[in-house]
Amino acid sequence: MMMAQHGNNSLTLTSPYQWMMKLKHKSKSPFVVGVLARPAENIAQETNVYKDNWFDHLAINHLSKSVQASTGHSNRKSGYESLVEAAMVAYKEFNSNEQKEVIIQALDRAFPRPILMLIRTMLPPSKFAREYFAAFTTLFFAWLVGPSEVRESEMNGRREKNVVHIKKCRFLEKTNCVGMCINLCKMPSQSFIKDAFGMPVNMVPNFDDMSCEMIFGQEPPPSTDDPAFKQPCYRLCKTKQNHGMNCLS
């Protein structure tokens, strides 16, 4: 973390983008507040192939075990398939409100509260904090959501690099289910990040191309006004095909 001392003895945090994004390519895009895609009859046929390294495997296994512990159901699969299976169990066994709480419990297990509270204390809401969270997400969470990049948006009348553009969400691609995206990723992640860090974030999935925007510093709209909740599920939804479930219930 880079700090500059000024005459009034206050600490000013310099932008994290200049030093964290040296490892990434810069990109700019218009500000996105919501996406309502057309009914997805045919989704992209190309499937990303991931070559997870040791850190990716460690992180995936840790989160999968946390989800399994929260649901009370274990599985014998490995890698990302184990995480998807654990999420599928949560989706099958609990209603939509319970699903959100189960995942929040899993995130609480996965990330120790003392560390989260320390980060919250050191990074109160600010331009620096929003850009820091965006940069950190692109660097350290590709194992969960796939490749991403930092983009700009307008916040409080000025441009900030506070948006994470996920090119094609790994979780949505693997589950192929709108309901699982909303109930097991979007809603619990928004709540967890706000509660743990004091940082509002609006996750805006695009179900046409499976991309997603994470807009740090923006409060998400109520579910009644959120375009994501008006999206019909994919015709080839795995949850609906394999378990006969209404994935938007």
DSSP code, position 9? S
Would you state the pLDDT for residue 9?
45
d(CA 246, CA 221): 24
- The percent helix, strand, coil of the chain (3-state, each to 5) is 50, 15, 40
pLDDT in tens, 4-29: 444 444 444 445 545 454 444 444 43
Structure tokens at 50: 């991931």
d(CA 123, CA 108): 19
The mean-pLDDT minimum among 24-33, 68-77, 128-137, 205-214 falls in 24-33
For the residues 86-93, what does the mean pLDDT come to?
Answer: 95
The closest alpha carbon to 152, from 245, 237, 215, belongs to 215
The mean-pLDDT minimum among 12-26, 36-50, 140-154, 219-233 falls in 12-26
d(CA 78, CA 22): 33
pLDDT in tens, 44-69: 456 788 999 999 999 999 999 999 99
Contact 67, 90 (CB under 8 A): yes
pLDDT in tens, 157-208: 999 999 999 999 999 999 999 999 999 999 999 999 999 999 999 999 999 9
- Tell me the pLDDT band of 156, cut-offs 50, 70 and 90: confident
